């Protein structure tokens, strides 16, 4: 790109939108999975149905869909009460988009801002309506709106002038029927474009093409050139591949220059097969693709650590990991980590699905939510008492007891640790 004129200075966002109204949930999930692995920076899902049943179904669907998304998502919803706003935020959405014509009362919105922060809410407006009066946008900014989603865009000198004067960040919503993507990206003020144009196309390929034309977009880029790596005698560098969520080591393979460049360009792990003496894009024949989350180099520049989203099994034997056989084991206390929370939770789920006679966990499930809540309350009180005592071991025991009962409650209500970790990550 040395000889290419850079047309923008900051990376523009390419966001995919999905109108979930009157769509089967299975169809929405399929579209989400497509965007998730094909280069979308974010996903925007909306349903502006006004009836309570439709809203509840939408919130429920979004909570389920959020578990499939590895990229941020925002939602647009008809929210007129604080309860609506709360439920929208509780889906795990990065942003909640509110239509100007359905905007809640000032007091309701301010309550939402005070509870969830000023970075949670965007305003959707028509470029021919509110946006022609930039002073009105200032009013929403003072209320706590963070940005504007601008639809029905018609590129004109008037629009350009208003974009320049806007007191809030702008994202353009366009189906790309009247305008080309590069026309919208050439507008310097908007921070991104949200479109449904790529429903059956690769956003990443389009980004790569536009980047060659000088646009700044989020693609896979390496901060180091391949010739900075220390290679073995065959001109290869070993790659340790790891699941980006669980950190489980999946496999070890090798890259040459061509494999490395292909991996960075496509976002799919590509190796050099020493046995076949050819380039090997993981999953081309098996379907067990590895999507790149990040690549790291060790202190000696001679080994790459790749963290990936693994589809299916990493090992040709059908095992999740190539490292499934233990050859040396020392008898000792089990190594523990935060993964123990998921291990215990999975055991609780197994008890729920496969009842075991004499199981205390099954006893709690059989007694129902009131019993589970009573035990959570009792164990919380035990923590308070133990924390006042000098013996720290008692506190350790009571916290462990409480966490167990909390996980039973989570299982009873359909939450798992991924839900909790995502919520904590959003807050962080």
Strands 170-173 and 192-195: parallel
Q: What DSSP line would sit under 213-233, residue for residue?
A: TT--B-----SS-GGGS---T
User: Considering the chain, what percentage of its residues have pLDDT values greater than 70?
Assistant: 95
What length is written for the chain?
A: 428
Which regions of the chain are under pLDDT 50?
1-4, 6, 8
Q: Rounded to an integer, what distance in angstroms lies between the CA atom of residue 173 and that of residue 122?
A: 13
Residue 333's pLDDT is: 53
Within its chain, how far is the Cα of 236 from the centroid? 33
Helices (H), 240-338: 257-266
Q: Are 73 and 94 in contact (CB under 8 A)?
A: yes
Residue 303's pLDDT is: 98
Q: Which two tokens stand for residue 367?
A: 């007694």
What DSSP character marks residue 12? B
Residue 331's pLDDT is: 58
Residue 428's pLDDT is: 65
Q: Rounded to an integer, what distance in angstroms lies between the CA atom of residue 330 and that of residue 290?
A: 33
In the chain, the domains with their CATH numbers are: 13-212 (3.20.20.70), 226-310 (3.10.20.810), 339-427 (1.10.287.1080)
Residue 7's pLDDT is: 53
| Backbone φ, ψ for residue 148 (5° rounding) | -125, 130
Collapsing DSSP states into helix, strand and coil, what is residue 106?
helix
Three-state SS string across 48-95, please?
Answer: CCCCHHHHHHHHHHHHHHHCCCCCCEEEEECCCCHHHHHHHHCCCCCE
Residue 128's pLDDT is: 73
User: What is the per-residue pLDDT across 128-184, written as a single tens digit (0 to 9) for each?
Assistant: 766 667 788 999 999 999 999 999 888 988 888 889 999 999 999 999 998 999 999
Residue 293's pLDDT is: 95
């Amino acid at each position: 790109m040395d000889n290419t004129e850079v047309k923008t200075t900051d990376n523009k966002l390419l966001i995919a939108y999905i109108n979930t109204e009157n769509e089967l949930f299975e169809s929405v999930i399929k579209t989400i999975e497509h965007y998730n692995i094909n280069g979308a920076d974010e996903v925007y899902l909306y349903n502006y149905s006004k009836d309570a049943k439709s809203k509840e179904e939408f919130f429920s669907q979004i909570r389920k869909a959020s578990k499939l998304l590895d990229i941020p998502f925002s939602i647009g919803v008809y929210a007129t009460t604080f309860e609506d706003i709360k439920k929208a935020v509780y889906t795990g959405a990065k942003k909640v988009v509110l239509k100007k014509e359905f905007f809640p009362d000032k007091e309701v919105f301010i309550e939402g801002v005070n509870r969830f922060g000023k970075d949670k809410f965007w305003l959707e407006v028509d470029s021919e309506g509110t946006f022609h009066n930039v002073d009105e946008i200032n009013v929403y900014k003072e209320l706590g709106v963070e940005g504007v989603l601008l639809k029905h865009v018609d590129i004109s000198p008037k629009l350009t002038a208003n974009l320049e004067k806007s007191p809030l960040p702008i994202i353009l919503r366009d189906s790309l029927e009247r305008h080309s993507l590069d026309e919208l990206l050439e507008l310097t003020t908007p921070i991104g474009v949200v479109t449904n144009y790529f429903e059956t196309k690769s956003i990443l390929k389009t980004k790569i093409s536009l980047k060659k034309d000088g646009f700044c977009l989020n693609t896979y880029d390496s901060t180091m050139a391949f010739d900075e790596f220390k290679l073995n005698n065959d001109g290869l560098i070993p790659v340790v591949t790891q699941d980006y969520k669980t950190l489980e080591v999946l496999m070890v393979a090798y890259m040459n220059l061509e494999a490395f460049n292909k991996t960075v360009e496509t976002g799919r792990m590509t190796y050099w097969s020493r046995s076949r003496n050819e380039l090997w894009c993981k999953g081309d024949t098996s379907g067990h693709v590895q999507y790149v989350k990040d690549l790291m180099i060790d202190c000696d520049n001679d080994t790459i650590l790749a963290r990936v989203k693994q589809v299916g099994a990493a090992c040709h034997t059908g095992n999740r990991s190539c490292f499934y056989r233990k050859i040396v084991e020392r008898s000792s206390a089990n190594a523990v980590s935060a993964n123990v929370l998921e291990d215990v939770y999975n055991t609780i789920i197994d008890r729920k699905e496969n009842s075991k006679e004499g199981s205390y966990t099954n006893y709690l499930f059989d007694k129902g939510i009131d019993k589970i809540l009573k035990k959570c309350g009792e164990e919380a009180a035990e923590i308070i008492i133990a924390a006042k005592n000098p013996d720290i071991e008692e506190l350790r025991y009571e916290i462990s007891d409480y966490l167990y009962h909390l996980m039973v409650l989570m299982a009873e209500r359909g939450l798992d640790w991924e839900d909790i970790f995502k919520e904590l990550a959003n807050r962080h």
